[in-house]
Amino acid sequence: MFIVLFCAEFDVIHALFPTVFFTTMWRRHLHNSPRTIARIGDFTRTRARTHTHAHTIHAMTPHATLAHAVLTTHSTSKAPRGVLSRIVNSPPSSRAVRVVPRAASAPAGSALDALQAFSNVVLDAKKSVLDDARAGLDLGPKAGVVSASVLATASRAGGRDAGALEGAMVYDKCDIVSAEPVKYECVIDKAMVNLAAMWAERVEGRVAVELFPTSMADDTDALLVKARHYANMARDLKIVPEKLLFKIPATYAGIEAVKTLEAEGISCHVSDVYCAEQARAAIDANATVVQLYYSRVNAWHKANPGKTTSADPGYDLARDALAYARARKAKTKIMVASLHNKDAVLRVLGVDYVLVSQRIIDEMAKAPASDVGETIISDAPSTSSSSTAALSKKAFDDALANSPAKTELAIARRRNAAADGDLMNYIKEKTVGLNV
């Protein structure tokens, strides 16, 4: 089976102008229909082109990496109070997103064809999202990840997905908020769910949504409030619950939140898993997906000798997580990312999902099936303890400190904080020059 992360080509024009061009009927139904969000931009962009007093902003070139880019931060003057209620969204143009013809399946007898018999292949599209023509074998958009950096890139670029943010700027429930930082967060929350709704209609698989702001990764209560809020907005947009995942980092607080959310029927994707303690805790929390990072784990242990006796700790982590989930009869699916070459992919063959680059997919499509071999990670017995005892926060934090997790979580926090701040500043930038 092929699963491909969603990627789209964007226009590069934004137009902002007063609400005189925005009808009451559009506004009334804005937050109830992804299609409405997607079509308002055609109306607003046309009006912007025919009115000289339309407010325009400088078009920004999207960063080459959509899913994890830390975009340039632009400082801007403070926006006038209440101005968000006067910004009309400029969502997607009516021009269809370009879809490059692709092979319908992996070549018969190829290593890629053989791989798909054991693991679902997920294309990590973040490095090729702006260069569709170079993409090789895939089956079109099948899944997606919505984050602050993705939302900022889509909004700056204009085009089909710009309406997610700009439509949220006229969301009634944000109008009643007077404090600007809170108002901006309200708009971002709505925009994240808007974009998830738009993508959910276009992809066959699931859309994972990161919770904003990412600074609440160590606050269980804040994560619960925000995930429930997103889930409620998703219901208002008629998104099928099974289409969504909420992406939460594998901190102690994050996993505690996942445990509660999954019990409430809110599906979670636990990311930033770098040690066995994180993986087991997430599986015990009944997370829908747990994402591990093969090469990063190995690189950290190589740079920090003495932490393990294993020659391949990334493999051990994936093997033991998969064995633990199956022994517990958990619903959790194991995804392995950070696979830098074909050999790394084949090493973890048999996990539920492998997240790979287009380069590796093309390489495996040309390689013979005999390259796959007969060693399947899901057949390998776990060598770790199968204890299911819950760890205290101190024991959990100690485990993180003795693994790549502490370092990698810190890197993720800095990256995400930059992306969050960039998105917030972008919204402020869009309000400059508008009057109440």
Residue 228: what pLDDT? Answer: 98
Sheet holding 207-210, edge to edge: 2-4, 120-123, 353-356, 333-337, 289-293, 268-273, 244-249, 207-210, 144-146
Whether 426 shows a pLDDT value over 60: the answer reads: yes
Whether 300 shows a pLDDT value over 80: the answer reads: yes
The pLDDT tens digits of the residues spanning 389-403 come to: 788 999 999 999 999
Q: What is the average pLDDT across 225-240?
A: 96
Buried b (16+ CB within 10 A) or exposed e, 338-373: bbbebebbbbbbbbbbbbbbbbbbebbbebebebbe
pTM of the model as a whole: 0.75
Delineate the domains of the chain, giving CATH numbers in brackets.
2-431 (3.20.20.70)
The pLDDT tens digits of the residues spanning 129-169 come to: 333 333 333 434 457 789 999 999 989 988 888 999 989 98
CB 7 within 8 A of CB 141: yes
CB 335 within 8 A of CB 352: yes
Residue 125: what pLDDT? Answer: 59
CB 383 within 8 A of CB 350: no
Whether 417 shows a pLDDT value over 70: the answer reads: yes
Q: What is the average pLDDT across 354-368?
A: 90
Which residues, in sequence order, are bridge partners of residue 333?
A: 289
The pLDDT tens digits of the residues spanning 266-294 come to: 999 999 999 999 999 999 999 999 999 99
